[in-house]
Amino acid sequence: MSELAGTLRQVARGEVLESVPLSARTSVRVGGPAQLWVRPRDPQALVAVLGVLCDAGVPWFSLGGGANTIVGDGGIEGCVLQLGRDFVDESIEEAGDHAVLVLGAGAPIARFISLAREQRGVGVAWAAGIPGTIGGMVTMNAGTNTGSAKDHLDAVEVATPDGLRWLPATELKLSYRHCELPAGAVLTRARCRVRRGNEDEQHEDVRIAKADVDRRRASQPLSLPNSGSVFVNPKGDFAGRLIEQAGLKGARRGGAQISEKHANFIVNLGEARASDVVELIAIARRAVLAMSGIELIPEVRLVGTFQPSLSEDLSPYHFLPVLLARST
């Protein structure tokens, strides 16, 4: 890998490291090392990095901001990509009573809100308090019961070994906590449309956002490392309520615990391993299924090598690094 790392340093024009622990780069603070870790300087450097990985037959995984992701204790074979400082570029396009915001995938979601407000935008209160980056917001179609990324997304720019291109949001099959990028593509920018409101609407949007942030602080275990909501809420119900009803609120395995504050969060009490976290995920799914017949679907991404291996019921939710191929 040392020779490959040297080549990647030349084209990435950013950081390229070997055997990098990923626990510090995920919000739940668990997981083994990345064989290679690359932070390309800008979108063109990312295209070059993907080309090198493609030619070398090395798979990659885009980690983003590290929220909603659990990396296995055995780490990730291949290359882990995180977007660098030049993936936060932004611009504004006029569209009558709307503003079109173009944000880099590496920008925090909070910047989407603040930029929208600078343009007198309304309808963005749902994004207040959601952790992570614009890239994660789009690829997870992040949101709450009052709105989601899908409500604003016009198009995305993606990088592949063949270059950069824009895709309309209609091609992404956006649905609840779901987005489908083309195989082997990394999201680099998002174009979002926000309606401009009058002064009263702007004040109301700020009020709703503050109330939502206050609610999150009161009801979610934000003082402890966690990966965000573990499960997608089933239609007409709440995953946290079902897990609590199954008697699992506060349940522990090793250094991980189903939060005593909100049962759809698993927190790291200080010495948790990925195996502890995924064991609690499996326990919660089985208990809720046995109690209610409802199969909870993980919202978190399970990535890399897990020791021991993932149980059969979690295997379908295991994300593997992508092996690239150039278009012909």
CATH number for the domain that contains residue 117? 3.30.465.10
Within a domain: 327 = no
In which order are the strands placed within the sheet that holds 301-303? 69-71, 301-303, 318-319
Q: Which of 145-149, 232-236, 263-267 has the highest mean pLDDT?
A: 263-267
Given a cut of 80, whether residue 1 has pLDDT beyond it is: no
- 208 and 102 together in one domain: yes
pLDDT tens figures, 304-324:
999 999 998 899 999 888 887
pLDDT (0 to 100) of residue 95: 81
The reply to whether 322 falls in a domain is no
CB 259 within 8 Å of CB 267: yes
Residues 203, 270 within the same domain: no
How far, in Å, are 54, 147, 314 from residue 22 at the CA level?
23, 31, 21
Does any domain span residue 286?
Answer: yes
Looking at the annotation, which residues are catalytic? 177, 229, 299
Q: Are residues 99 and 79 in the same domain?
A: no
Q: How many domains does the chain have?
A: 3
Query: Which residue, among 253, 261, 276, 177, has the nearest Cα to 222 in the 3D structure?
Result: 261
pLDDT given for residue 93 in this prediction: 85
Domain that holds residue 47: 2-85
The pLDDT of residue 171 is above 70:
yes
Residue 160 has pLDDT above 90, yes or no: yes
Q: Are residues 252 and 203 in the same domain?
A: no
Query: Does residue 223 fall inside a structural domain?
Result: no
What would the DSSP string read from start to end of 190-201? EEEEEEE--HHH
Q: Does 326 reside within a domain? A: no
Q: Kind of pairing, strands 69-71 and 147-148? A: unpaired
How far apart are the C-alpha atoms of 186 and 174, rounded to whole Å?
Answer: 16
106 vs 262: CA distance, rounded Å? 29
Q: How confident is the model at residue 85 (pLDDT cuts 50, 70, 90)?
A: low
Domain boundary among 61, 85, 109: 85
**Nearest CA to 157 among 133, 134, 189?**
189
With b for 16 or more beta-carbon neighbours within 10 A and e for fewer, the 275-284 pattern comes to: bbbbbbbbbb
- Looking at the structure, do residues 149 and 189 belong to the same domain, yes or no? yes
Residues 206 and 146 in one domain: yes
Q: How far is CA 318 from CA 56, 140, 222, 308, in A?
A: 24, 15, 26, 14
Q: Residue 75, by phi and psi: left (phi above 0), alpha (psi -120 to 50) or beta?
A: left
Contacts of 20 (CB under 8 A, 6+ apart): 33, 34, 36, 37, 80
Assess whether 282 and 199 both reside in one domain.
no
Looking at the structure, tell me whether residues 72 and 26 fall in a common domain. Answer: yes
CB 26 within 8 A of CB 75: no
Mean pLDDT computed over every residue of the chain: 93
Spatial contact of 95 and 193, defined as CB atoms under 8 Å apart: yes
Q: Per residue in 52-67, pLDDT tens?
A: 999 999 999 999 888 8
**Rounded to an integer, what distance in angstroms lies between the CA atom of residue 97 and that of residue 95?**
6
For residue range 177-204, list pLDDT tens digits in order. Answer: 889 999 889 999 999 999 999 999 999 9
d(CA 226, CA 220): 10
